[in-house]
Amino acid sequence: MMETLIEMIHEASLLKEKGITFINAADKEKFVSYNMVYEKALKLLYHFQERGLNPGDEVIFQIEDNEIFVYTFWACILGGLIPVPVSVGNNTEHKLKLFRIWDILNNPYLITSSKNLSNLEKFSVEASYEAEMLVISSRTICIEDTANSHSFGNIHNPSSKDIAFVQFSSGTTGDPKGVILTHKNVLTNLKALINAWGITEKDSSLSWMPLTHDMGLIAIHLTSMLAKNNQYIIPTFLFIRRPTLWMLKANEHRVTQLYSPNFGYKFFLDYYDPKASENWDLSCIRLIANGAEPISTTLCYQFLEELSKYGLRFETMNTVYGLAEATVGVSIPEVNQPFVPVVVERSSIGVGQKVIEVNGGSNSVTFVEVGRPIEDCEVRICNEDDKILPEGTVGYIHINGKNVTSGFYNNPSATKKAIKKGGWLNTGDLGFMRNGRLVITGRAKDIIIINGQNYYAHDIERVVENIHSIGLGNVAVCGVFDEKKGQEDIIVFIRIKKSSVVFSDVDLAVRKEINRQLGLEVLHVIPVRKMLKTTSGKIQRFKMRELYLESLQPN
């Protein structure tokens, strides 16, 4: 029985006809067999070991090139090094994340490009991190200096309980938490995903998700390798520049599995041209995993309806739930079944409340079922005191199983706070069970309470996103408590992309639509030039809120 990722890549290395196709443009692709991935990784490991890296050493790597990223990841795994993948920073907060992670680790190395190293050095001067940068630079390996060698590195054989890699949260502010994932954690979850999705060697996957994200790295790359699937990887920046390439390549390569968070479907629909898509045949797709952020039923319907003309079946949409602390996956619906919307009274979704299902109405909110817990992962719903709540009652989602992390790297206080008696981990998400299937209602910290009723920030954001010219990803909503009034006020941030936009018109439209649909009053609608986001693209509402509160302080 396979117990480590070393055994997994050894098995994959026998495959010379299957592997990864790196898509760098519509007409520019490179196929690398799993056998070649193995050999390239071993040669790269030789260079790392020549530099003095030993089993157990932590290796942060910031690499934008997907092909080099894959070789670096597997080089670390093969050598018993602890890979710590981190996205390349493109703003101040993203760059600060590297320094914060460096401080958490024991004595890490950095592997990156000379270009990124230069950018970090320039940033360190601007941000007064010169001393820290001197240490980092002295322990940095530039990927350009690792030219191909004929020598292979020495393979380290770990146990199933050893750390495979550390997965840091996508958040960039505050203290990032590194999720410890052992070989056992990872392989347990990979096998469960393969069984839940019914993946066979005949399947193939296509992804534009970043490999620094748990969906991109684990749910897609590692799962595809274990299942001996051909996989196709599009750089995230290329998807952003040309989103229709996603379906173009799915059609061209007859791909059977796609993956995307909510954002991807909306982005694709906004930019695709039906006239340029006439020859698509998407009947090959049997599964589209939709997860990583709140799921919009309206958007799911729009996406499936629009692409049904190209043979995409309604049953392909698979609304899933997972998080880094679970390796990646927690629950998955049955495949080849339509996704299941769940409409409930908004007033019935407080912690400890029994949800009231309705047919719709102004005081309703729609969620989706995200399936039953997968193999080797248990789910329970609890109140604030960790008491188990009955089915149909909203509470905190706790998970337990062989795929669940033992804690956060070098962070005993965060570990103690998250992990309860018996190894149960509080995810920080809210939801309820419905006929044995999980329904996610939101994040506990993203609730805005007004007049005793709970409103989720992402729910209000969806209302605003539907206003013409605003769109997905340009809205952030948060609640700010007013001690004098004894209630929370709603603050809405809108990213204005065009100088020609008259903001007073936008302000009025936002207020009217929120009031019309939710009956709520907005205190402020604030224009911003950019939204603060994590490296995986999630809006940081708490950071937007902090900046607003700071603006209220007297100089």
- Whose tokens are 């949800």? That residue is 355
CA 25 – CA 390 distance, rounded (Å): 51
Are 426 and 420 within 8 A, CB to CB?
Answer: yes
Confidence band for 442, pLDDT divided at 50, 70 and 90:
confident
This prediction has a pTM of 0.84
How far apart CA 509 and CA 499 sit, in angstroms, is 18
Radius of gyration of the chain (CA): 23
Q: Look-up: residue for tokens 């290796």?
A: 59
Q: Where are the alpha helices (DSSP H) in 202-244?
A: 214, 223-226, 236-241
Query: Comparing 540 with 356, which gets the higher pLDDT?
Result: 356
- If one counts every other C-beta atom within 10 angstroms of the C-beta of residue 384, the result is 10
pLDDT at 425 over 80: yes
* 422: alpha, beta or left? (left if phi > 0; alpha if psi -120 to 50): left
pLDDT value, residue 485: 61
**pLDDT for 93:** 66
pLDDT for residue 338 is more than 60: yes
pLDDT number for residue 172: 39
- Cβ–Cβ under 8 Å, residues 520 and 482: no
Res 451: pLDDT: 63
Per-residue pLDDT, averaged over 264-293, amounts to: 88
pLDDT for position 362: 73
Please tell me the least confidently modeled range out of 16-30, 229-243, 498-512: 498-512
Where is pLDDT greater, at 82 or 298? 82
Higher pLDDT, 146 or 18: 18
Spatial neighbors of 272 by CB under 8 A, at least 6 apart, are 243, 244, 247
CA distance 545 to 532: 11
Number of neighbouring beta carbons within 10 Å of residue 91: 12
Angle in degrees, 0-180, between the axes of helices 66-79 and 5-12, rounded to the nearest 10: 120
pLDDT at 171: 46
42, pLDDT greater than 60 = yes
Q: What's the confidence (pLDDT) of residue 25?
A: 93
- The per-residue pLDDT for 379 is 98
